[in-house]
Amino acid sequence: MLSPFTERRRQACAHGQPGSAPDETEMVRILQATGRYQILRKLEARPIAAAPRPGYPLRAVILDTETTGLDARKDEIIEIGLIGFTFNEDGEIGDITGVYGGLQQPSIPIPADVTRLTGITDAMVLGQMIDLAAMRALIEPADLVIAHNAGFDRPFCEAFSSIFARKAWACSNSEIDWSARGYEGTKLGYLINQSGYFHVGHRAVDDCFALLEVLALAQGDNDQTPFAELYQASLRSRVRIFAENSPFDLKDRLKERGYRWSDGSDGRPKAWWIEIAEEAMDDELQFLRNEIYHWEDADPPIQRLSAFDRFRGRR
């Protein structure tokens, strides 16, 4: 039995095309038809629309930063990438309205591990400054700012410019149920590869374009795109419950349920805390009263959050 490539070559020769080979599209089709290959396509940047189409009245920005470290109180942004696009209330993505990528020289040499990860060197950022006007042109009209780790990016961005503090933020890592969509992880590299693409990662604009394609892709039986799910999540209120003065010997029970420790240095109560959907608040309070405090009238501190409040850094 002839292999698919051999059969294709035989057919080409039979049609008077000796030595001709299948074109790229046909090669992909042949390989996929064998069931033995998975094809990854290189991500291509979408073009900027000269005039955005009507029917997409809302604006969003996908944002990514590269920094000198992990602490927004002392480390600095060395690169920022922004992609602006339109969308509608149903979470359907329209057109690209603008793209900006800029480098910034930090006050210290870039650590070697950051250069290994990002490829950004001290020579590349020498004398470079992020264009605040170009950045503002995309951020100011945005109804939503999206980052794949908003808890990391938002504090850095707010330290860099106050324009980010007045915006609604969404996190494509934590506010989309990727496992329910069949993904094995939430890192951007996993999401891209499992979506059938590859790209050059850890440069800000490239990562933004990669995230846009993943957010726009509906796979399998789920007709709703990840972006539509993310937009709906951004509209819902969340609550943080602080298990203040909880018994020390029950800390493991709290950790098992998803509580995290706050040492009080960021202005929050010094306590174990959890962030949940508002509709789950009554059940969570009942858990605390029954299993932690053993007191029906226990009233732990509660903080309500919208997309304008979430993912802020320490104050």
Chain Cα centroid distance, residue 265: 27
Whole-angstrom distance, CA of residue 200 vs CA of residue 215 = 18
User: N- to C-terminal Cα distance for the chain?
Assistant: 70
Tell me the DSSP string of 204-240. Answer: HHHHHHHHHHHHH---TT--S-HHHHHHHHHHS-EEE
Residue 7, pLDDT score: 53
Q: How many CA atoms lie within 13 A of 9 on its CB side?
A: 8
Whole-angstrom distance, CA of residue 268 vs CA of residue 264 = 5
Whole-angstrom distance, CA of residue 107 vs CA of residue 98 = 29
Count CB atoms within 10 A of the CB of residue 97: 21
Collapsing DSSP to helix, strand or coil, 284 comes out as: helix
Measured in degrees and rounded to the nearest 5, phi and psi for residue 304 equal: -90, 140
Collapsing DSSP to helix, strand or coil, 298 comes out as: coil
Residue-level pLDDT, tens digit, the chain, 315 residues: 545 545 554 554 444 455 556 688 888 888 888 988 878 888 888 999 999 999 999 999 999 999 999 999 999 999 999 999 999 999 999 999 999 999 999 999 999 999 999 999 999 999 999 999 999 999 999 999 999 999 999 999 999 999 999 999 999 999 999 999 999 999 998 999 999 888 876 689 999 999 999 999 987 667 899 999 999 999 999 999 999 999 999 999 999 999 999 998 777 889 999 999 999 999 999 999 999 999 999 999 999 999 999 998 754
Burial 31-51 (b: 16+ CB within 10 A, else e): beeeeeeeeeeebebbeeeee
Among 107, 160, 158, smallest CA distance to 131 is for: 160
Angle (deg, nearest 10), helices 226-235 and 204-216: 90
Q: Where are the beta strands (DSSP E) in 91-215?
A: 93-103, 144-147, 169-171, 197-198
- Judge contact between 194 and 183, C-beta under 8 A: yes
Mind listing the pLDDT tens digit for each residue in 242-270? Answer: 999 999 999 999 999 999 999 987 778 89
Mind listing the pLDDT tens digit for each residue in 139-148? Answer: 999 999 999 9
Residue 219, pLDDT score: 73
- Judge contact between 128 and 103, C-beta under 8 A: yes
